[in-house]
A and B are shown apart, each in its own frame.
Chain A
Amino acid sequence: MRPVDLKGISGKRIMELSLANKSMERAAKRLAELGIPDRKSEEYRYFDIEPLMEKEWEPAVKRRPQMIERAHRLVITDGMISSMPEGLEVGCSDTLDLDVSHFDPMYYFGHLFGGDILQIRVKRDMKLEIKHIFTQPGKLLTYRVAIYVDANVKLGIYESFEAEEAKNALIVSGIDLFAARDSRVALYKDQTLFESDYTPLFSYRFKIDGNAEVKFASFDMGSGNGLQTLHAQLHENSSILSDHLLYAVENARRGTVSKFVHIGRSSQSRQRAKSILADRARGIFDALIKVEHSGKYTKAHQNSKAVLLDSGAYMASKPQLEIYIDDLEASHGSTTGQLDEKELFYLRSRGIAYEEAKKMLILAFANEIIDSIDDENIKERIHSSFEYSYYGKNIIECIQTCHGCEKTVTMSQND
Chain B
Amino acid sequence: MSAIMKIENLHATIGGKEILKGLNLDLEEGKVHAIMGPNGAGKSTLSKAIVGHYDVKITDGDIIYKGESIVDMEPEERALEGIFLSFQNPVEIPGVNNAYFLRTAVNAKRVHEGKEELNAAQFLRLMKELVNELGMKTEMINRSLNEGFSGGEKKRNEILQMMMLQPELIILDEIDSGLDIDALRAVSEGINKMKDGKRSFLVITHYSRILDYIQPDYIHVLKDGAIVKTAGAELVAELEEKGYAALEEA
* Interface residue ranges, A against B (CB under 8 Å): 340-343, 345-354, 356-357, 360-361, 363-365, 367-368, 403-404
A353 touches B108 (CB 8 A): yes
A360 touches B105 (CB 8 A): no
B95 touches A364 (CB 8 A): yes
Known: A345-B54, A352-B101. 18 other contacts (CB 8 A): A343-B93, A345-B75, A346-B87, A346-B90, A346-B91, A346-B93, A347-B105, A349-B52, A349-B85, A350-B76, A350-B161, A350-B165, A351-B76, A352-B105, A354-B76, A360-B101, A363-B96, A364-B95
Chain B residue contacts of A363, Cβ below 8 A: 95-96
A361 touches B112 (CB 8 A): no
B104 touches A341 (CB 8 A): no
Chain A residue contacts of B79, Cβ below 8 A: 348-351
Q: List 15 A-B contacts (CB under 8 A).
A: A340-B93, A343-B96, A347-B105, A349-B53, A349-B75, A349-B76, A349-B79, A351-B76, A351-B79, A351-B109, A351-B112, A352-B108, A361-B95, A364-B94, A367-B95
Chain B residue contacts of A361, Cβ below 8 A: 93, 95-96
Please judge, given known A-B contacts A345-B53, A364-B94, whether A351 and B105 are in contact too, CB under 8 Å: yes
B238 at the interface (CB under 8 A from A): no
B211 at the interface (CB under 8 A from A): no
Closest chain-B Cβ to A390's Cβ sits at a distance in Å of 15
A353 touches B76 (CB 8 A): yes
Chain B residue contacts of A353, Cβ below 8 A: 76, 108
Closest chain-A Cβ to B239's Cβ sits at a distance in Å of 30
Please judge, given known A-B contacts A346-B90, A403-B111, whether A352 and B95 are in contact too, CB under 8 Å: no
What number of B residues sit within 8 Å (CB to CB) of A?
29
Complex: chain A residue closest to B90, CB-CB: A346
A354 touches B74 (CB 8 A): yes
B51 at the interface (CB under 8 A from A): yes
Chain A residue contacts of B51, Cβ below 8 A: 349
Provide the bound-state CA to CA distance between A219 and B86, in Å. 38
B118 at the interface (CB under 8 A from A): no
B80 at the interface (CB under 8 A from A): yes
Provide the bound-state CA to CA distance between A347 and B79, in Å. 10
Q: Which 9 A-B pairs have the closest CB atoms?
A: A364-B95, A351-B79, A350-B105, A348-B75, A348-B76, A351-B108, A364-B96, A351-B80, A403-B111
Closest chain-A Cβ to B229's Cβ sits at a distance in Å of 29
Provide the bound-state CA to CA distance between A179 and B52, in Å. 56
Closest chain-A Cβ to B163's Cβ sits at a distance in Å of 13
Chain B residue contacts of A360, Cβ below 8 A: 96, 101, 104
Chain B residue contacts of A340, Cβ below 8 A: 91, 93
Chain B residue contacts of A345, Cβ below 8 A: 53-54, 75
Complex: chain A residue closest to B77, CB-CB: A351
In the complex, which residues 39-87 of chain B have their Cβ closer than 8 Å to any Cβ of chain A? 51-54, 74-76, 78-80, 85, 87
Closest chain-A Cβ to B228's Cβ sits at a distance in Å of 28
Checking A346, A349, A357, A368 against B95 with a beta-carbon cut-off of 8 angstroms, the contacting residue is A368
